[in-house]
Structure 1
Amino acid sequence: MASPPPSALYTPTFLLALLTTLLLCLTLRALAILPSRSPKPRLRTPGTPTRVVIVLGSGGHTQEMLYLLRDLDPAKYTHRTWVVSSGDAFSAGRAVAFESEMESRAGSGHGKNVGPGTFDVVTVPRARSIHQSLLTTLGSSLRCLCACFAPLLGFTTASSMAQAPTKDLPDLIVTNGPATACILVFAALLLRFFNVRGAQSRGKCTTVYAESFARVKTLSLSGKLLVRVVDRFLVQWEGLEGVGGGRAEFVGVLV
């Protein structure tokens, strides 16, 4: 008995079943990488080098982030990658000054939270400029997305201090709301979705979002976009606790 021609298999019913199966697999995979409502912190071996990616935004976002990290322990977070948008020389300069201050404290022996480490400042294309039309925003956002994979995958150059930078994925990503942060978090989710370099299986690219102190009653646009996909979503006003399906955590004033 002759077998049916291959073209006979591609019936509308078969294609619909194939599409449904594919969508189901993608949905289950997405649910597997998204955080639960009660995230459980992953335990790390003491002394293990830790890499953190910090996203800075112009003006107030940068000021708040640097104040948020004022007690950062460089002996624990041994490599720090600062991500800034193109044209934001202010944030890049503040990141370098922040690192220089930590290095000075280490040299003078003042304070306990000092130690070895490396850092770099990475510039990515701006996701969206002020007054940019929505028609061209898609293109600039895609350029930003492609550029965000480099700092996540460790294709950066170390600045200052002695040790060579790790080429591993970041253990932690910290942001507080600039538009570039949304793109970078999405890039991290893609790495976890496809488990690139074990991003999901090894617990890499954990994301923490700290909502701006200025957001008292409602979330920022970035906050609304990220509240359900980041691992920890922190707010500084009690009135915002529990928003986003119960994901927002009130932790008090951070800045």
Structure 2
Amino acid sequence: MIWLHVVFILSALRLWMIRPDHQPTKKKRSTPCSTCIILGSGGHTAEMEQLIQSLEEEKYQPRTYVYAATDQLSKGRIQQLEQRCFPQSMAKTTYYDIPRVREVGQSLQSVPRTFLLALVACFKVLLKCMPDTIICNGPGSCIPLCMLSYIPRFLGIKHITLVYVESCARVHSLSLTGRLLYGWVDLFFVQWPDLTKKYPKAQYHGILA
């Protein structure tokens, strides 16, 4: 049993050391950045559309989009955006649907099951695309993929950069997803300057519009 305790302690230490706060500053990339973008729904997708339009086509490719299987509307909107903004590289773009972690009105008792299903689906996505960067802005559907992105980091295979953009609707406090991911993402952006006073790691560069 002693060796189990040793493995646990070493694993916990390794996990602590690979947190963003303990990582050296990355050098500027000279090659395209394969980018995975997790779509929420409704307002989350609308804000993500604004962010995507600001990406430089030649720098952020190939692009992978992950969305809830019950949210075909977001997929359609992003496909139209791709045709409009990234005509040269959209052929390399891929789309994956995953089970939603929790549907509106879903009982809390059934969440562990749907979370596990989403986790398995996200693991398959990660194996297929293994991106350089993951960009998300909530809701909770982004948590499984962000969690799994730590596996290659933990094993020393690849450091997948995690970028989280808090919703514009969060003026005075972070969302539940934002609070859960705050200490684990490499870049954390908010859209209201007052939030940087409460959360020192957060960066403010204006509102997505």
| TM superposition score normalised by structure 2 | 0.91
Q: Does structure 2 retain, via aligned residues, the 8 Å contact 1:37–1:247?
A: no
Which of these residues, 188, 203, 206, is aligned with residue 249 of structure 1?
A: 203
Structure 1 counterpart of 2:192: 237
Structure 2 counterpart of 1:171: 132
Q: Does structure 2 retain, via aligned residues, the 8 Å contact 1:81–1:151?
A: no
Structure 1 counterpart of 2:27: 42
Distance 1:176 1:37, change over 3 A: farther
* Cα distance in 2, alignment partners of residues 229 and 40 from structure 1: 15
Answer yes or no: is 1:184 the counterpart of 2:139.
Answer: no
Q: Does structure 2 retain, via aligned residues, the 8 Å contact 1:211–1:219?
A: yes
Of residues 73-82 and 207-216 in structure 1, the stretch that sits farther from structure 2 once superposed is: 73-82
- Looking at CA atoms only, which structure, 1 or 2, has the larger radius of gyration? 1
Cα displacement (A) at 1:131: 1.6
Structure 2 counterpart of 1:122: 96
Answer yes or no: is 1:66 the counterpart of 2:40.
Answer: no
* Cα distance in 2, alignment partners of residues 232 and 91 from structure 1: 24
* Cα distance in 1, alignment partners of residues 204 and 22 from structure 2: 14
SS at 1:20 equivalent: helix
Answer yes or no: is 1:53 the counterpart of 2:36.
Answer: yes
SS at 1:82 equivalent: strand
Q: Which runs of 5+ in 2 are unaligned?
A: none
| TM superposition score normalised by structure 1 | 0.76
Q: Which runs of 5+ in 1 are unaligned?
A: 1-14, 107-114, 155-166
Cα displacement (A) at 1:39: 6.5
One-letter amino acid of the counterpart of residue 252, structure 1: G
* Cα distance in 2, alignment partners of residues 242 and 228 from structure 1: 16
* Cα distance in 2, alignment partners of residues 73 and 224 from structure 1: 29
Cα displacement (A) at 1:116: 3.4
One-letter amino acid of the counterpart of residue 25, structure 2: K
Structure 2 counterpart of 1:223: 178
Report the number of matched residues: 208
Structure 1 counterpart of 2:115: 141
Cα displacement (A) at 1:231: 0.7
Distance 1:251 1:39, change over 3 A: farther
Segments of 4+ moved more than 6 angstroms: none
SS at 1:84 equivalent: strand
Cα displacement (A) at 1:180: 0.8
Cα displacement (A) at 1:37: 7.1
* Cα distance in 2, alignment partners of residues 242 and 233 from structure 1: 14
* Cα distance in 2, alignment partners of residues 176 and 186 from structure 1: 15
Structure 1 counterpart of 2:68: 85
Root mean square deviation, CA, Å? 1.9
Which of these residues, 29, 32, 43, is aligned with residue 14 of structure 2?
A: 29
Cα displacement (A) at 1:242: 4.5
SS at 1:228 equivalent: coil
